[in-house]
Structure 1
Amino acid sequence: MWLAEEVAHAERRPERVREELLKHLREERIEPPTSGRISRIVASALHNAEVTWSMRIASRLSPETTQRIYALVGIDDASRTAAEAAGDRQEPTGQTPAEEVEDDEDLDVLAFIKSAPGNVSLESMMTEIRKLAAVRAIELPPGLFADVAPKVLAAWRARAAVEAPSHMRTHPRELAVLLLAALVCEREREITDTLVELLIVTVHRIKARADSKVTKELINAFKRVTGKENILFKVADAALGHPDDPVRAVIFPAVSGGEQTLKDLVHEFKTKGPAYRTTVQTTLRASYTNHYRRGLIALLDTLEFKSNNTAYQPVIEALELIRRYAKAGNTTYYPRGEVVPEHRGTAGDWENLVFKNDKRGRRRVVRMVYEIVTFQALREALRCKEIWVVGAHSFRDPEEDLPKDFATRRVENYAELRKPLDPKDFIAELKAEMRAELEALNTALPKLDWLTISERKSGAIKLTKIGPADEPQNLRKIKKEVGRRWGSVPLIDMLKEAVLRTGCLNAVTSVAGTSSLKPEVLAERLMLAIFGYGTNTGIRAVASGGHAHSEDDIRYVRRRYLTPQIATDIAIAIANATFTARDVELWGEGTTTVASDSTHVRAYDQNIFTEWHSRYGGRGILIYWHIERGSMVVHSQTLRASASEVHAMIEGAVRHGTTMKVEGNYVDSHGQTEIGFGVSRLLGFDLLPRIKQINKVKLYRVESGESDLYPRLTPAMTRPH
């Protein structure tokens, strides 16, 4: 009873429940029973906790809501009663994937709710809106799972997602309600997040495509003018031939007609060529009005936006205004007397287009332009969570990001971070450390032959380039011997050896909680699935190899066992086993630093996360890696092309899950910001960036009036931060 109420109600993984049981027995000085007995106790506790939860959740639902949940798997109370009377209750064997076939028409809603989003498009947006409406039509009461641990809810959701409706109908009434309600609840949040992502990407895409279209028009306009290509070539040739000479002495004589020709060229462009900014805004307005507006307006009726910051309340009020006048037809201006909130989006470059004078000279607000700038302001606010969305997860109220007991456990939390409670003490410590480090650099600078700080136009700081490191002794001999002894080892054999030596698949369990597959059969199918996905070979191609496992068998195991969390656990087990097995004489002592960077992976446009990346010149997503010095990956995560690498760096350094203690993280220029330095400092590890333009970096003074305190560093010093 204790194990079910205190542990299993908040933890569904048997190995973790087993650990807590053994820990409790040690604390109580009770001799643990046999391994088989412990396994039965753990299974019983998990079952009892699940029964308790299912009864509790079912009691919170009205009969109407319960019936709507049953309808998702094509069942009603009458048919369930008949099935129970006939004893038609068989547990799934897990052996035949053919049983996973759904029951057609009655299950369209469930399949629709489970379906993944498409590519970024207006059609995908409207589909996700309909999907969210279907989920909300079930009318789950708010706070249904408020007292359920997130990982337990996620486990129920994963189980419901992979079980066929035919299997779901065999469960006890309360358990079926529990699993389906968990799926609906989680999908509502996931779909809401997807809609917010679509809004952010769509607003960005409207602007990006307008920029691209106008740029092409400018280029075409330039090419239509006779002789401009020759003028450009002559100017470029003269500039490259005499880069240090005055413009009047080099550029003007190179052009036929000299200075006057260039003046005429500039005048012609200004009078006949399109004005870039105005043309972009006009193109953007046309694209929004003729195509994207329908979806974005529909989002306003679907999502509820809120903000805890009074500075962003005008944007919230503007969204409400847009929603009220969404069907006002072709009205150019908002009615006179209507209060139109002004926000940061209505100022700047767009101000002259948002506010126009009507025929009577009265200042009016243009509806379509106002909608555009409001959605742009909404996009920026959503990305930094100044505006949040009711019912979302990633874009939820930022107040929910902190633990609910953070204030009451403030002393323990600060002690865990090793930070003082008084902010004055914290600031004093930082200032003292800054002074010590600046003084140390000022003293050591004359002895550093690789660093100079002096007044120069290109930047005060100058580093001497580091030459290539010497090749380690015997490295080539070791490579040659490894190649002679083992040759080319197939990747599948390396995967098999990793599984056998680390036991990383031993703890893999089905998301359904039960499995009748033999461990060796499960391991083989998991390895084939991992190999198929990891090498991009595909499950169909892998299934055609010389083994006894069919494509359906491998897909079944992939669906029921290879979840993102399980894949993460497998990677962590391999990393930990590698750290343990390393020979200190060969590899040295364990390191405490990692290097992190992103890799661009091309992806089809049908993927909602696919974005164009200007740095890599193609569409795809980013994989952000954290790699330990010995070339061991300790964490990996997917990252959108437009997302900040700083948050990914912090995520991997803190939540890698391995036994390694990260005390330093090397990044490139994209992985560091001042905020990143501050957060890493609070979390207790050093951010070690490779800054691209370090010559322009400035060192902050600690206090005002200390301009002469570090004379050797003066050229690189700036105001106090």
Structure 2
Amino acid sequence: MTTEESDLLYKKTLHGRLGFVVLLKFFQNEGHFPEHCREIPEAVLGYLANQIGVSGDNLSQYEFTGRTGKRDQTEILSFLGIRRANKNDKSEFAKALLTAMLPSDPTFNALQDYAIHWFRNRYIEPPGSARLERLIRSTTHTFETDLFNRIAKDLNPNTKKLLDGLLNVAEDNADGSSALSNPFSSVSWLKDDTGKVGLDRILQAVEKINYLRDLSIPGELLASLPAKWLQKYYRRASTESAWELRRHPDVICYALVAVFCWQRQMEITDNLIDLLIQVVHNVGKCVENKIDKKLLEDLKLVHGKTGLLFKLAEVAVEQPEGIIKDVLYPKVSLETLKNLVKEYKSSGKAYQEEVHQVVWRSYGNHYRRMIVPLLDTLEFRSNNSKHTPVLDAVNHLKSNREYRGQYFTDIDDIPVVGVVKFKRFDTVIEQDKDGDDRINRINYEIEVLQALRERLRSKEIWVVGACRYRNPDEDLPGDFSSNSDAYYEALNLPKNPEDLIEKLKTALEKALKHTNKEIPKNPWVKIIPTGKNRIRITPQEPQAEPENLAGLKAEIFNRWPATGLLDVLKEADLRVNFTQLFQSSRQRETLDQNTIQKRLLLSLFALGTNAGLKRIAASGDEASYKELLHIRHSFLEKNTLREAIAQVANATLAVRLPQIWGEGTTSCASDSTKIGAWDQNLMTEWHVRYGGRGVMIYWHVEAQSVCIYSQLKRCSSSEVASMIEGVLRHKADIDIQKSYTDTHGQSEVGFAFCHLLGFNLMPRLKGVASQKSTCRKKAAVLVTPILIPY
């Protein structure tokens, strides 16, 4: 305490002194006054009591909300130069809240913190906790009401009429019993997304998206509104039946359904693009797998083919007039010659031609029926003129969808260069009996679809009305063109690409010289002068188990011999209070916070352990299945769940003792795990290495085994992108400088992006002997393997 602050304690009683000091210091640190002594940590209370020479027990006699407390608060505010908040202050705060905070849909705790800082910076005492809560909730309600009015006002009468028709289809009764009379053009029909990938599912999705487009939802208006609020309303409308939506006032009802239809249209568009990419992939891959299986059953490798050829040539020269079965078969048997023919057909050009023929038949008879409606529904665009030929080729396929001829004879207007790969020209462009060029229609369509698939996956071509496959320019910050210097400075990168390339060349040259100098001194690495794999790494012995590890395990088991996962989850929430992050997607919630907390923990436990809500509900009388389902639909959301995981991870990092766990780490490791999934999931794929159908969970774990990020991915998708995403998007309180991964999580492009983003990629290369470090004339590729054993 300062001298001026100590002078304020004159003529105060012992318990009055302690209460005054607690009020003063609490306000200076927190920006508001406490309402009860329970808000004061015991350590802080003991420290303040010791400073003024009184006992901490005296605080129990002090009334924080009594006359003495209010008089002391007035004296403290006068001493600090802070005035009480008036009506104008609250109005200005509400305006600031509407413009600065609410568009990002923050948590209620974040809004409270913002309020306290807002009033503190203006030397104004914030309202009490109850009044502040009412002010924040009132302002939030005003913000939502304005959003609903803006959306509903922009809907034309015809759109409202169609939305009424969408909601008036009988779906269910108030008691939840089914009363569905017509499954089409209803909310449940739009929500449904089940079934395997096939023609019926594609046609159903096309029908849905055409129906949603006919609604004429004002997309420009919705795109300008806060994205988080729209996601919240989409979740809310997705979990409510038509009967529940009709119960809302007209403004809220129209706004919710409009947001749902607009978001659902983008979601179905993304699904259609996924289906297109998957179907085009299946056109070639399924055929290759079928032929490979057949060839593996019949194939018998023939060894010593050079010697066999010499024997055949020698006999043919000596007896040119002889009969084959009498001259050649004694030297080389008929069975051996048959195996030679099979081996030839299973490799090289013969194999490719057989694959192409089967693809041709499969596409023409089956897959083309799926492709045509997809191309008619999706509108493709590109920001790069280099990909214009592919767009022209797609438009050509659309305009000739009804053509059934085998060849296109008028080839001058058909784009080929930039669409068909050079090695496939012979299969696409053929010659007729007169020597004139013509295009094989089916072969050309297959090549166009393959080119379209490659460019869709890299977003070189994007789709109008999509979300994940939208215009890549929309992924940039809105002010990037006007504020690009600040963004380049934040990344610590030069705007001139030549400067960057020169810097990379210098760094690579230095790294290569260092590697060349140090490798001969490394006892674990040997360079073999001959052979294909010239780098040999000696495996290290595994580290010995720490001496105290067994004792630590035994002590933990003695203290908590039968602790359940649900108890651990509950204890973590009592310490961290992560359930406060989950907010209802509805405008108001009648359940009290304790009930919400209990049901949230039960729902998280049911989903996290895969036990299911029904089984958890049946295990006791804490909550019914319907009650847990309400929590699941109204509160649980992916982004909020990520924030809760990050909060638990940060709390774990904060309580670590450095003398045991060491100082904070700046590295993490990442890898994936295969998990089985139903075929109805669009992301389900067959895993070529592990076998079986499923999806992959990609984990990021810091050096002391705390998972800081996880994500869902396809079995065939690149792990490089997942590795980079986890490093960038995790919210743990660690600054990752090194990312360790396996061979699948690295590539030349991955090294380049990691370098530009400011962290080092440290892969455990499986085939380290075949890796190369290259320095090109105009660009440098930072692929210097770390030659140490793992």
TM-score over 0.5 for the pair: yes
> What is the deviation of 1:451?
2.5
Moved more, 513-522 or 616-625: 513-522
Range 593-602 or range 155-164, more displaced:
155-164
1:388 to 462, 476, 492: 462
The question of 1:563 aligning with 2:657 is answered no
Deviates more, 1:453-462 or 1:184-193: 453-462
- The letter of the residue matching 1:195 is L
Give how far 1:200 is off.
0.5
The alpha-carbon deviation at position 493 of structure 1 amounts to 1.9
More deviation, 343-352/267-276: 267-276
Which 10-residue stretch deviates more, 199-208 or 557-566?
A: 557-566
Match of 1:639 in 2: 713
Distance 2:351 2:597 in 1: 60
Instruction: Please give the residue correspondences for 1:576-615 in structure 2 after superposition, counting only pairs within 5 Å.
Output: 576-615=650-689
Q: 1:343-376 CA distances to partner (integer Å, 9 max, x unpaired)? A: 4553445433322333444321122222122111
**Residues 99 and 23 (structure 1 numbering): CA distance in 2 closer, same or farther, change over 3 Å?**
farther
Amino acid at match of 1:216: K
Shift of 1:656: 0.8
Q: Give the residue type in structure 2 aligned to 1:388.
A: W
Identity across the alignment (%)? 34
Aligned twin of 2:398: 323
CA distance in 1, matches of 2:334, 2:503: 64
Q: What is the Cα deviation at residue 11 of structure 1?
A: 2.5
Once residues 469 and 194 of structure 1 are traced to their aligned partners in structure 2, the CA distance between those partners, rounded to angstroms, is 48
The offset of 1:203, in angstroms, is 1.0
Residue correspondence of structure 1 range 257-336 to structure 2 within 5 A: 264-265=337-338, 268-269=341-342, 275-328=350-403, 330-336=404-410
1:3-152 mapped onto 2 (5 Å cutoff): 3-11=97-105, 13-74=107-168, 104-105=180-181, 108=184, 109-152=186-229
1:666 corresponds to which residue?
740
In structure 2, C-alpha distance between the alignment counterparts of 1:324 and 1:583, rounded to whole Å: 69
Amino acid at match of 2:272: L
Query: What's the counterpart of residue 370 of structure 1?
Result: 444
> Which residue of the partner structure matches residue 240 of structure 2?
163
Correspondence for 1:91: none
Provide the rounded CA distance (Å) in 2 between the counterparts of 1:12 and 1:483. Answer: 41
Alpha-carbon offset, residue 22 of structure 1: 2.8
- The structural deviation recorded for 1:116 is 2.4
How many residue pairs get aligned? The number is: 665
Provide Cα deviations, 1:251-281, integer angstroms capped at 9, x if missing partner. Answer: 99xxx96666686235543799894222211
Cα drift, residue 9 of structure 1: 3.5
Residues 414-437 of structure 1 show CA distances to partners (whole Å, capped at 9, x for unaligned) of: 221122334344334333433443
Alignment CA distance shift 1:414-1:270 (3 Å): closer
Match for 1:507: what amino acid?
L
- Aligned to 2:481, the other structure's residue is in SS state coil
Contact kept in structure 1, 2:345 and 2:351, CA below 8 Å: no
Change beyond 3 A, Cα 1:24–1:703: same
Q: Which residue of 1 aligns with 2:511?
A: 437
Match of 2:266?
Answer: 189
Following superposition, the deviation at residue 413 of structure 1 comes to: 0.8
Question: Partners in 2 of 1:360 and 1:113 — Cα distance?
Answer: 55
For structure 1, which segment, 2-11 or 381-390, has the greater mean C-alpha deviation from structure 2 after superposition?
2-11
Q: 1:415 aligns with which of 458, 466, 489?
A: 489
The 8 Å contact of residues 202 and 272 in structure 2, kept in 1 or not, is answered as yes
Which amino acid is 2:692 matched to?
Answer: G
How far has the Cα of 1:603 moved from its partner? 1.1
Name which of 285, 288, 294 aligns with 1:208.
285
- TM value normalised by structure 1: 0.86
Aligned partners of 1:441, 1:415: CA distance in 2, in Å? 31
Residue type at the aligned position of 1:54: F
Give a deviation string over 1:157-188, Cα, whole Å, max 9, x none. Answer: 11221233333223332222222111111111
Residue 573 of structure 1 is aligned with which of 647, 654, 669?
A: 647
What SS does the aligned partner of 1:688 have?
strand
Give the Cα–Cα distance (whole angstroms) in 2 for the partners of residues 673 and 588 of structure 1: 32
How far off its partner does 1:106 sit? 7.2
Instruction: Give the Å deviation of 1:28.
Output: 2.2
Partner amino acid, structure 1, of 2:377: T
Identify the range of structure 1 (687-696 vs 64-73) with the bigger mean alpha-carbon deviation.
Answer: 64-73
Q: C-alpha separation between the residues in 1 aligned to 2:585 and 2:563? A: 33
TM-score by length of 2: 0.79
Cα deviation per residue 1:493-533 (whole Å; 9 max; x = unaligned)?
A: 22222222221112321111321122222222222222222
Whole-angstrom distance in 2 between the partners of 1:502 and 1:101: 41
User: Aligned equivalents of 2:193 and 2:119: distance in 1?
Assistant: 45
Contact 2:671 2:698 in 1 (8 A): yes
Q: 1:598: Cα distance to partner?
A: 0.6
AA partner of residue 148 (structure 2)? S
Equivalence map 1:247-266=2 (5 Å): 264-265=337-338
- 1:92 corresponds in structure 2 to none
Residue 430 and residue 369 in structure 1: after superposition, are their counterparts in 2 closer, same or farther (change >3 A)?
closer
Going from structure 1 to structure 2, the CA distance change for 1:178 and 1:264 (only over 3 Å counts) comes to: same
Choose which of 445, 451, 456 in structure 1 pairs with 2:525: 451
2:38 equivalent in structure 1: none
Residue type of the partner of 1:199?
L
Structure 1 segments unaligned to the other structure (5+ residues): 77-96, 223-227, 240-245, 707-712, 717-721
Q: Point out which structure has higher relative CO (alpha carbons under 8 A, 6+ apart).
A: 1
Secondary structure, counterpart of 1:146 in structure 2 = helix
The 8 Å contact of residues 393 and 419 in structure 2, kept in 1 or not, is answered as no
Distance 1:549 1:436, change over 3 A: same
The CA distance in 2 between the partners of 1:323 and 1:118, in whole Å, is: 27
Query: Deviations 1:516-565 (Å, cap 9, x if unpaired)?
Result: 12222222222222222222222222221023311222122111111222
| Maintained 8 Å contact 2:169/2:181 | no
Contact 1:160 1:179 in 2 (8 A): yes
Aligned counterparts of 1:221 and 1:382: Cα–Cα separation in 2 = 38
Distance 1:67 1:23 in 2: 47
* Equivalent-residue separation in structure 1 for 2:501 and 2:345 (angstroms): 58
Q: Which amino acid aligns with 2:142?
A: N
Equivalent residue of 2:224, what SS?
coil
Indicate the larger mover: 193-202 or 163-172: 163-172
**Superposed CA offset, 1:618-642 (max 9, x none):** 2111000101122111110100112
CA contact (8 A) 1:118 1:124 kept: yes
Check the 8 A contact 1:671/1:689 in 2, yes or no. yes
SS, match of residue 606 in structure 2: helix
C-alpha separation in 2, matches of 1:286 and 1:446:
58
Deviation (angstroms), 1:396: 1.1
Per-residue deviation, residues 671-710 of structure 1 (Å, max 9, x unmatched):
1112111211222211111111111222234869x9xxxx
Structure 1 counterpart of 2:475: 401
Letter in 1 for 2:146: T
> How many angstroms apart in 2 are the aligned matches of 1:335 and 1:326?
16
C-alpha distance in 1, partners of 2:690/2:356?
27
Matching of residue 173 in structure 1 with residue 246 in structure 2: no
- Structure 1's 487 and 305: CA in aligned 2 closer, same or farther, altered over 3 A? same
Show structure 2 runs of 5+ residues with no match: 1-93, 312-328
1:463 deviation in Å? Answer: 2.3
1:16 Cα deviation (Å)? 3.3
**Contact 1:74–1:106 (8 Å) recurs in 2:** no
Letter in 1 for 2:114: E
CA separation in 2, counterparts of 1:6 and 1:279? 64
Q: Encode CA deviations 1:223-250: one digit per residue, 9 max, x unaligned.
A: xxxxx6xxx6xx78xx9xxxxxx9869x
Q: Which amino acid aligns with 2:233?
A: W
- Out of 689, 692, 703, the position equivalent to 1:629 is 703
| Number of the residue aligned with 2:54 | none
